[in-house]
Chains A and B, each alone.
Chain A
Amino acid sequence: MPDREPVSPLQRGRWGPWMPWLFLAPAALIIFTFRILPIVSALGVSFFDASFGKVRGFVGLAQYQKLFADPDFWQSMGNTLWFVAGSVPLSVGTSLLFAMMLRRGVRFLGLYRTIYFLPVVTSFVAVSMVWKLIFHEDVGLANSVLRVFGGHGLHWLSESTGIFELALARFGVDLPTWAEGPSLALVCVIIVSAWRGIGYNVVIFLAGLQNIPEHYYEAARIDGAGRFGIFRNVTWPLLTPTTFYVVVMTMILSFQVFAPIYLMTGPPVGGPLGTTSVIVYYLFEKGFDAGGNMGYASAVALVLFAIILALTLFQRKVVEKRVHYA
């Protein structure tokens, strides 16, 4: 921050000392009441029983005990981890590939960027609705394309079998439950979620690529580096800060996935067999469905917060330490 005089000349006069607080008051009022107060009280609520708006008795750590004993919670957690593990590499990898192809003087760059970004502007609700139809078993586009190529139709959103199990079953391999992988239904949601976010990441990567000075490339070319060599030794290391940012942001967003789960899966949502229930849907279901307990849901919220906080702090730490080159 640039050094200014101890007191800004704008602050002279009788009202001077109060002036900044007057300007600050509207934002501060909203942020303290509707952001900070709920954030702080989330922890408190998780020690109580609360049904809808009404907070009832103090229960100590009982919500957490109940939570960690619930197999559905662990299933949702597992699904969420699969979701993150699937959507982050898919989204980041594809965006990086597209950004690499789009960089520097490709014709129609603006047009491509406009098209790739289109889903980002579109609501997740509408996006989920059309993809649900595309994955429809009988009248969906996905199965009709598969059949054109001589394959069998798949059950897509109603397939609860893990994809590794599906892929290996025809070879007579039977995997143990933990190795079956995310259900095909969850993979459909992973694809849709990545599809919607790729354009966003492409734009971020394009900006990152533009920041790499041209003379690095020239030097590499003069030294006789090949296309892969240039990527391996110039682009990739210099792009690390951007890549790191995109990976962490995509992870944080993926942990919070809700809309496509709510709109594409089931009925009941989270199906088939709970293989698409993610942590935020679990929170929503426990907190707001009939007979919901908001204290219990708050405990779920705190677990989610712990995960995201850890990711954020990890990001800060790494950004401070490592990823600066220029």
Chain B
Amino acid sequence: MKSLRRNWAVHLMLVVGAISFLLPFYWMLNTSLKGPTELALSPPSWWPAMPRFENYPDAWHAVPFPRYFLNTILVAGSIVVGVVVTSGLSAFAFSFFRFRGREGMFNTFLSTMMVPEPVYIISSYILLFNLPGGGRDGWIDNYSALIVPWLAHVFSIFLLRQHFLSFPPDLVDAAVIDGCGPVRFLFSMVLPLSKAALTTVCLFTFINTWNSFLWPLVMTNSDSIRPIQVGLAFFASEQGTEHGLMMAAAVFSIAPLLIAYFFAQKQIIESLTHTGLKG
């Protein structure tokens, strides 16, 4: 009897927890469908009496959201491809080759993980500002400032190296005896055997890039470059009182990732918890 009652208490708390995690999402949806009269109600209503679906197209066209999405997809897509290539190649070198300076190089890479983004964002700005080949302000306010510095990711290298080291050493010998060179070995043996690890890297990189805020906030000035999070933040500060439009914009900006999460939650949870989180 006692354990049954205790079980009820546990379930009650778990349900209360679930509600407190879901409620803000419901509130976002609820508010996003309210018209001006309902938004002014105090206390606020729990569901929109007269759903105003026009909030969505209105918000979508109020500022260039299509452009922000396009920018985000372009930036996140390039970074995912870049990170997979650079981490795959360097992890391959770290795990299957012997050379002088290997450990030193690897440890140097690892040590950069101790330095968080706000620490180097100022000096990165100065560096990017002074690089040739961009616009008036160097690479600032240019896609290259959003993409190029993020094309390599130390933790992905670490993760892939861990995975590569789990391969039996005989695999290399067998491949070499069969006349396989390093490039073919990488592409026809190592990578096909690393699909799970590569998926982890891709998901993590994509999600973190999609959600990153401080870096693009600092490195962009114009609408044509701005990714979705910065666009959304500016929209929020400009339309501070239009709660319906703001919440509609919040909904469609989180929708792509939440839909992806719905289909691949197990992989996404694993990917994010294995590789760490960014603010």
Interface of B is mostly: helix
Chain A nearest CB, measured from B241 CB (Å)? 10
Among B48-56, B191-199, B267-275, the stretch in contact with A: B267-275
Q: Which of A42, A113, A123 contacts B122 (CB 8 A)?
A: A42
Interface residues on A, range: 35 or more
Q: How many residues of B contact A (CB 8 A)?
A: 102
Pairwise interchain contact A125-B127, C-beta atoms closer than 8 A? no
Task: Render A169-181 as a binary contact track against B, CB cut-off 8 A, 1 for contact.
Answer: 0000000000000
Q: Does A319 contact B (CB under 8 A)?
A: no
Chain B nearest CB, measured from A28 CB (Å)? 7
- Name the B residues within 8 Å of A253 (CB-CB): 277, 279
Q: Report the bound CA distance from A234 to B114 in whole Å.
A: 32
Known: A34-B148, A38-B120. A8 touches B115 (CB 8 A): no
Q: Which of A6, A112, A121, A143 contacts B257 (CB 8 A)?
A: A121
Q: Does A47 contact B (CB under 8 A)?
A: no
Pairwise interchain contact A30-B149, C-beta atoms closer than 8 A? yes
Q: Does B89 contact A (CB under 8 A)?
A: yes
Q: Which of B17, B119, B258 contacts A305 (CB 8 A)?
A: B119
- Name the B residues within 8 Å of A27 (CB-CB): 86-87, 89-90, 109, 152, 157
Q: Which of B93, B123, B148, B257 contacts A38 (CB 8 A)?
A: B123
Q: Report the bound CA distance from A308 to B117 in whole Å.
A: 11
Q: Which of B99, B123, B149, B176 contacts A21 (CB 8 A)?
A: B99
Q: Does B124 contact A (CB under 8 A)?
A: yes
A238-282 contacts to B, CB under 8 A, are 249, 252-253, 256-259, 262-263, 267, 280
A82-103 contacts to B, CB under 8 A, are 97-98, 101-102
Chain A nearest CB, measured from B103 CB (Å)? 9
Task: Render B118-149 as a binary contact track against A, CB cut-off 8 A, 1 for contact.
Answer: 11111111111110000001101000000011
Pairwise interchain contact B42-A144, C-beta atoms closer than 8 A? yes
- Name the B residues within 8 Å of A114 (CB-CB): 265, 269
Pairwise interchain contact B176-A9, C-beta atoms closer than 8 A? yes
- Name the A residues within 8 Å of B98 (CB-CB): 4-8, 11, 20
Task: Render A130-169 as a binary contact track against B, CB cut-off 8 A, 1 for contact.
Answer: 1101100011110110011000000000000000000000
Interface residues of A (CB under 8 A from B): 1-2, 4-12, 17, 19-21, 23-24, 26-28, 30-31, 33-39, 41-42, 44-45, 50, 52-55, 97-98, 101-102, 106-107, 111-127, 129-131, 133-134, 138-141, 143-144, 147-148, 195, 197-200, 203-204, 207, 249, 252-253, 256-259, 262-263, 267, 280, 283-284, 287-288, 294, 297-298, 301-302, 304-305, 308-309, 312
Listed A/B pairs (26) with beta-carbon separation below 8 Å: A2-B169, A7-B98, A9-B172, A10-B176, A11-B98, A11-B182, A23-B97, A24-B105, A31-B154, A35-B112, A37-B123, A38-B124, A39-B115, A42-B119, A98-B17, A114-B269, A115-B21, A119-B21, A122-B258, A125-B229, A139-B41, A139-B243, A197-B277, A256-B118, A294-B122, A304-B116
The 9 closest A-B CB pairs, nearest first, are A53-B129, A144-B43, A34-B149, A20-B97, A30-B152, A27-B90, A23-B93, A27-B86, A9-B176
